[in-house]
Structure 1
Amino acid sequence: MRMEQSQMLANDLERIQNILNSVSDEEVEVDGSCSENDEDDPVQNSSHNSESEFEGESSSSLEQLDIKRSSKYLYGKDGTRWLKKVPPRNVRTRAINIISYLPGPRGKAKQAKSADECFALFINDTILNCIVCCTNIYIAHVREKYERERDAKNTDLEEIKTFIGLLLLTGVTKSRSLHLSDIWNKNKLGIAVFSATMSEKRFRFLLQCIRFDDKRTRQERSEIDVLAPVREIFELFVANSQNNYSLGEYTTIDEQLVGFRGRCKFRMYMPKKPARYGIKIFALTDARLWYTSNLEIYAGLQPEGPYRVSNKPHDVVMRLIQPIDNTHRNLTVDNWFNSIPLAETLLEHGITIVGTLRSNKREIPPNFVKRKRDLYSSEFGYKEKMTLVSYASKPNKNVLALSTMHQTGDIDAESGPKQKPEIITMYNLTKGGVDKVDEMIGKYSVARMCNRWSLRVFFHILDIAALNSYVIYLCNNPNMNTPRKHFLCSLGFSLINKTLKRRADMPTLPKDIRISAKRICTQGIVIEDAPVLSNPNTKSRCTVCPRSKDVKIKTECSQCMQKMCLKHMKTICDSCMLNLQEKVD
């Protein structure tokens, strides 16, 4: 049985979940999901509605069904027959409920112990060399616009790693939305590690010039593939994600909306998503450890050629399940993806499914969608390998769910007076895998405001890679409870450390930068969240002086950003500060 087979990993799983779940989860209502899509919509306006509201025919039309009734069966509008009672079943656990291999890192990922080793599993040298090559091609194209050749010099592998490391550190410090001049200015919100690692001018240049495909052949490739600017690195990253980790017994398929408001042929409008506008990406994730195994960018209707695929929910699911095909995993989906034909097809591929259903499916018996029912009541229909349930979660509203994992209509005893079926409870526990991934990567995202959709996709790849590498890091280090913020800080430092050592011994750099680089190489990085800068034109009461004096001032401490009068602060010039740093070092 699934639960018995996974018991040997229960302790490690619970530990990793507690570390990953840094933000407390709230129970999501079973009568709806948080995503919206549309199937083959040429105007790119998504209407993916996961609510299982009654949208069917009137009661008079339902009564006119000419299908022969039987006390033993329930019939759908298309004649699909469901048993009213649980059919006789074998007491032995079904083979499809026994996973074929245990979850966890596999292959080279088993030996990855450090943060940079885990990250290199996903953003490896193959991807980085591709970025270096394509970026240099673009730099050569724009070099003539610069007066000095050194302002547009080629990049290399080490510099691209440093660039990615600084992007990760902007996510850790939550400064991705700040202007670059504020990040590099130590007199404002700047942090010494940025100016010590790379000049603002060079970072800005790389941010403008970084490319992920050959600009010289892009127009030809775009005639058959609208995803040509990111196709190569995206497929390489997805392949690395699938090869380095085996998903757990519970998986989730849902959509992500990568916020983007620039020009893009396949940009979507989804009003119920926080970003509302952006690039839709379908994802397959682990429902309990939030590892992302497969991704697919929704590109609308592709031109005729090898990249033109169907965007119907059934076909999207069948493409995404390739990493878990015939592994006896369970898949959780919402009512936009789910259907009875999909459940039957997945059984042929050795996968069970749990998910909500829309009430307009013709296989559903009419009495399952009746609005006037007792609150918290349930009705069940059974077929040989699947169970259908209609649960009255609210007055005049039913939730329809289908499961090929459950064979009986058991009620969850822990649900109390709500009397939730176990199918509904299982759906609630496992449906939030993709949503949790969105929540976690959003907390320390590297994404900066940009006008190129390919760059926005690259930022999303880095976010997913950082989270996946953290999951593998926790699996390979069972005795370490490292918070994700510390892991990302360590990862960023490991990527920029080689550049810092080189700049610390570079005599042409200013003295304060060399001192700062040397100190960071020796002491490492200790980063806290960037403080919020108050308005310098407003007066506030000194935080140290007693309230009775009511001392109003504009000055504030450059470290803690607290309003403070000069009686409680020490002032020091730049030259004296440098001398003090040299003595400390």
Structure 2
Amino acid sequence: MAKKRSLPDDSILEFLTKSDSEDEDFDADSEEDVSDCEEESAESTHLQNISASSSNDTSNEVEELATKRRKTTSKGIDWFSGDFTPKIHNFDSSSSGCKAALSASSPIRSFFEVFFSTDLVTLISEETNRFFEYTMEISSEVTVSRIKTWRYTTPEEIYSFLAITLLMPRVKKLSLHEYWTKDILMKTPIFGDLMTRDRYLSILRMLHFSDNRESNQGDRLFKIRPVVDHLRAAFKNNLVPFKNLCIDESLMLFKGRLFFKQFIPSKRSRFGIKTFVICDCETGFILDFVVYTGAKSDIVEQHADLGKSGDIVSTLMHTYLDKGHTLYVDNWYSSPALFCWLHDRATNACGTVRRSRRDMPRMEEKLKKGELRFRSSEKLLALKWCDKREVWMLSTCHSAGVIETTKKDRQTGVVTKKPECIVDYNRFMGAVDKADMMLSSIESVRKSLKWYKKFFFPLG
């Protein structure tokens, strides 16, 4: 077997000198922490000892240690082990809050009309009447006989229909017919006072939001497009958000047949229609949403470097860029490329991240519970912290420091400390889940094979 060629002493010294000079240039603008300085000092001393007595074995060790020192440098971003001082974009909260001219004394209907305006309800009324006419044209005599008692609806009647629908989850019964029962033990007179049972069921059957004669086959949300567009605009225009925002997925339960139905095991519903939602963390208000319909989802921005998840973030954040907001996202969205792009658009970002993401630094150390390691770049902090398992975080607005929490260790009684970025992430990231929890508590007993009707009611 051929022997490995060893480097001469002068070559080793030249290699070491070059390596050290490169490291000095690389970390010129950073202040390294004490532990990293000690590690590099020990490493440098060890390399000098090796250079004093070079041999086949020592030359291999030199190459191995030099390779180890370069492991934190990825192809796209230069990472170093020094302290990270974030450049936080400032946010002006003076204009944050509700834009609608409402007060505590305003009628309840005024709050509802902020989102379901007279224009939208009039459109629903017209499309419902038009759908009846369309049904009469294409239906058989048997079907026509079932709806021959139909009379044209009005916007005021649609408001009453929506009021009854919103009240039903608060007065839960086993079937729709029970809301109009005359049984003394079960009756709720308000439903009969607002609308008769047969009329409610008739409107529910004819309820429609678009004209079938102008069907757009390329738009998978055609059946409910006017409602979606109107509500997205209403959400954006009626609240100026506060500093902290979050983006997450929401799943509306639906088990019928639908091309873009999704299965997410971690969600409460598991099967349903998925939407990407951006929320204001302080109020829990939904600012915007994108319904997932496959490759034809309503994603406006296209950035080759950010990927599909980055395009969703750029679409939802389009109105809120360059204002100093702080965005919290989970590991499906987070990436160094996205966070750098947000930082360049004067937006702070923080979130969990997958260690395999492109341009993430390598941190191979095995950590014990409570320990952390981090790497820094010009704009980013990548942190690995061990709790019950290892958690990877990425942030442009946090340092690597730890802070005390309100929890204590059960065995020792010592106050638990966590990295600041993880504490803030846990605090602000749950706004979308809270919105889902509120919707799940007001589910009605309606069952419909029409997916657009099923999707419409939670929007109300």
TM-score (norm 2): 0.77
Q: What does the per-residue CA deviation read over 1:24-72, in whole Å, with 9 as the maximum and x for residues that have no partner?
A: xxxxxxxxxxxxxxxxxxxxxxxxxxxxxxxxxxxxxxxx9998555xx
Looking at structure 2, the residues matched to 347 and 308 of structure 1 have their Cα atoms a distance apart, in angstroms, of 17
Task: Kindly indicate whether residue 349 of structure 2 is the aligned counterpart of residue 349 of structure 1.
Answer: no
Change (3 A) 1:209 1:112: farther
Looking at structure 2, the residues matched to 306 and 334 of structure 1 have their Cα atoms a distance apart, in angstroms, of 19
**Counterpart code for 1:173:** V
2:438 alignment partner in structure 1: 440
CA contact (8 A) 1:74 1:381 kept: no
Looking at structure 2, the residues matched to 297 and 254 of structure 1 have their Cα atoms a distance apart, in angstroms, of 12
Which of 223, 227, 230 is the aligned partner of 1:233?
227
Which of 260, 264, 271 is the aligned partner of 1:277?
271
Greater mean alpha carbon deviation, residues 102-111 or residues 154-163? 102-111
Looking at structure 1, the residues matched to 274 and 288 of structure 2 have their Cα atoms a distance apart, in angstroms, of 14
In the TM superposition, what is the alpha-carbon distance from 1:256 to its structure 2 partner?
0.5
Structure 1: segments with no counterpart, 5+ residues: 1-63, 463-585
Corresponding residue SS for 1:439: helix
Aligned length: 383
CA contact (8 A) 2:374 2:381 kept: yes
Looking at structure 2, the residues matched to 112 and 434 of structure 1 have their Cα atoms a distance apart, in angstroms, of 29
In the TM superposition, what is the alpha-carbon distance from 1:327 to its structure 2 partner?
1.8
For the aligned residues, what is the CA RMSD? 2.8
In the TM superposition, what is the alpha-carbon distance from 1:246 to its structure 2 partner?
1.1
**Counterpart code for 1:400:** W
Change (3 A) 1:297 1:447: farther
Looking at structure 2, the residues matched to 325 and 189 of structure 1 have their Cα atoms a distance apart, in angstroms, of 53
2:324 alignment partner in structure 1: 328
TM-score (norm 1): 0.61
Sequence identity percentage: 26
Larger Rg: 2
2:78 alignment partner in structure 1: 81
CA contact (8 A) 2:84 2:381 kept: no
Looking at structure 1, the residues matched to 149 and 425 of structure 2 have their Cα atoms a distance apart, in angstroms, of 55
Higher relative contact order, structure no. (Cα contacts within 8 Å, ≥ 6 residues apart):
1
Q: What does the per-residue CA deviation read over 1:428-479, in whole Å, with 9 as the maximum and x for residues that have no partner?
A: 00110100011112222457221111112211210xxxxxxxxxxxxxxxxx
Corresponding residue SS for 1:262: coil
Query: What does 1:57-76 align with in structure 2 at a 5 Å threshold?
Result: 70=69, 75-76=72-73
1:152 alignment partner in structure 2: 150
Structure 2: segments with no counterpart, 5+ residues: 1-62, 409-414
**Counterpart code for 1:99:** D
Looking at structure 2, the residues matched to 65 and 190 of structure 1 have their Cα atoms a distance apart, in angstroms, of 81
**Counterpart code for 2:421:** I
Change (3 A) 1:110 1:349: farther
1:217 alignment partner in structure 2: 214
Looking at structure 1, the residues matched to 193 and 302 of structure 2 have their Cα atoms a distance apart, in angstroms, of 48
Query: What does 1:121-132 align with in structure 2 at a 5 Å threshold?
Result: 121-132=114-125
Change (3 A) 1:67 1:289: farther
Which of 318, 325, 336 is the aligned partner of 1:340?
336
Looking at structure 2, the residues matched to 382 and 307 of structure 1 have their Cα atoms a distance apart, in angstroms, of 32
**Counterpart code for 1:179:** S
Corresponding residue SS for 2:386: strand
Change (3 A) 1:456 1:420: same
Query: What does 1:64-143 align with in structure 2 at a 5 Å threshold?
Result: 70=69, 75-78=72-75, 80-87=77-84, 96-99=89-92, 101-108=94-101, 113-143=106-136
Looking at structure 2, the residues matched to 231 and 444 of structure 1 have their Cα atoms a distance apart, in angstroms, of 24
Looking at structure 2, the residues matched to 242 and 347 of structure 1 have their Cα atoms a distance apart, in angstroms, of 23
In the TM superposition, what is the alpha-carbon distance from 1:108 to its structure 2 partner?
4.0
1:208 alignment partner in structure 2: 205
Looking at structure 2, the residues matched to 299 and 259 of structure 1 have their Cα atoms a distance apart, in angstroms, of 15
Change (3 A) 1:111 1:356: same
CA contact (8 A) 2:342 2:348 kept: yes
